[in-house]
């Protein structure tokens, strides 16, 4: 069977309902498929994407700056609904599925997620901030220096991926 046998849009539509499955394994697999065309879905790709967007960094291969997340663009509001749900096992994962969507409508949910009690949710929101560059984003990142969770404090500098703006961020201790 050729992978081109199935239209991507048809497959995304078919699995969309599974993203809210009560079985976390099924839900995470569906969310992974919906958001699979963005570098935020795996821990391994995040630093390479964030470390090379808009600039070359020695030792890092530059990723395609025109990369698109078709599933996230089509179903971002569904991913937000899952992310705002009560199923903690997939909340952060579904947020990352919205990576590279860059819709202004995502700014409010991201702002809300930065204040979420779950550290995995705050960490995912930090990654999504990269899709909203600018002074207000830098301010939001800087506010996370005092996050109560050491894991979030330790992750945000590497995940922020804005070496060109790092001089504007405060120093921190974990």
Tens digit of each residue's pLDDT (9 = 90 or more) over 79-94: 998 888 876 556 667 7
Instruction: Evaluate whether residue 174 is within a structural domain.
Output: no
pTM: 0.78
**What is the reported pLDDT for 165?**
45
CA dist., res. 136 & res. 49, Å (int): 21
Average pLDDT, the chain: 78
Instruction: Evaluate whether residue 169 is within a structural domain.
Output: no
Instruction: Evaluate whether residue 128 is within a structural domain.
Output: yes
**What is the reported pLDDT for 42?**
83
Contact in structure between 38 and 48 (CB atoms under 8 Å) = no
**What is the reported pLDDT for 155?**
65
**What separation, in Å, do the N-terminal and C-terminal C-alpha atoms of the chain show?**
51
Phi then psi dihedrals of residue 89, to 5 deg: -60, -20
Residues paired with residue 60 on neighbouring β-strands, in sequence order = 57
CA dist., res. 19 & res. 11, Å (int): 13
Query: In CATH, what number is assigned to the domain containing residue 120?
Result: 1.25.10
Instruction: Evaluate whether residue 83 is within a structural domain.
Output: yes
Question: Is residue 51 helix, strand or coil?
Answer: helix
Q: What is the CA radius of gyration of the chain?
A: 16
| Total tally of structural domains belonging to the chain | 1
**What is the reported pLDDT for 54?**
56
Residue 10 has pLDDT above 50, yes or no: yes
Instruction: Evaluate whether residue 131 is within a structural domain.
Output: yes
Domain span at 15: 3-162
Lowest mean pLDDT among 58-62, 72-76, 101-105, 159-163: 159-163
Give kind and range of the element (H or E) at residue 79.
Answer: helix 70-83
Tens digit of each residue's pLDDT (9 = 90 or more) over 113-168: 888 888 888 888 888 888 877 667 767 777 777 888 887 876 655 555 544 444 44
Q: What share of the chain in percent tops pLDDT 90?
A: 20
Instruction: Evaluate whether residue 39 is within a structural domain.
Output: yes
């Amino acid at each position: 069977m050729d992978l081109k046998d199935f239209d991507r849009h048809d497959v995304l539509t078919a699995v969309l309902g599974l993203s809210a499955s009560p079985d976390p394994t099924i839900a995470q697999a569906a969310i992974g498929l919906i958001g699979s065309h963005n570098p935020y879905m795996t821990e391994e790709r995040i630093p390479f994407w964030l470390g090379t967007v808009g600039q070359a960094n020695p030792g890092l291969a530059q990723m395609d700056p025109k990369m698109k997340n078709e599933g996230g663009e089509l179903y971002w509001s569904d991913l937000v609904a899952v992310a705002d749900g009560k199923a903690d096992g997939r909340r952060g994962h579904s947020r990352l599925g919205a990576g590279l969507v860059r819709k202004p409508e995502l700014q409010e949910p991201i702002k809300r997620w930065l204040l979420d009690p779950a550290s995995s949710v705050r960490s995912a929101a930090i990654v999504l901030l990269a899709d909203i560059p600018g002074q207000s984003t830098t301010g939001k990142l800087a506010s996370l220096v005092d996050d109560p969770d050491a894991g979030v404090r330790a992750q945000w500098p590497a995940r922020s991926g804005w070496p060109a703006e790092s001089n504007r961020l405060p120093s921190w201790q974990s």
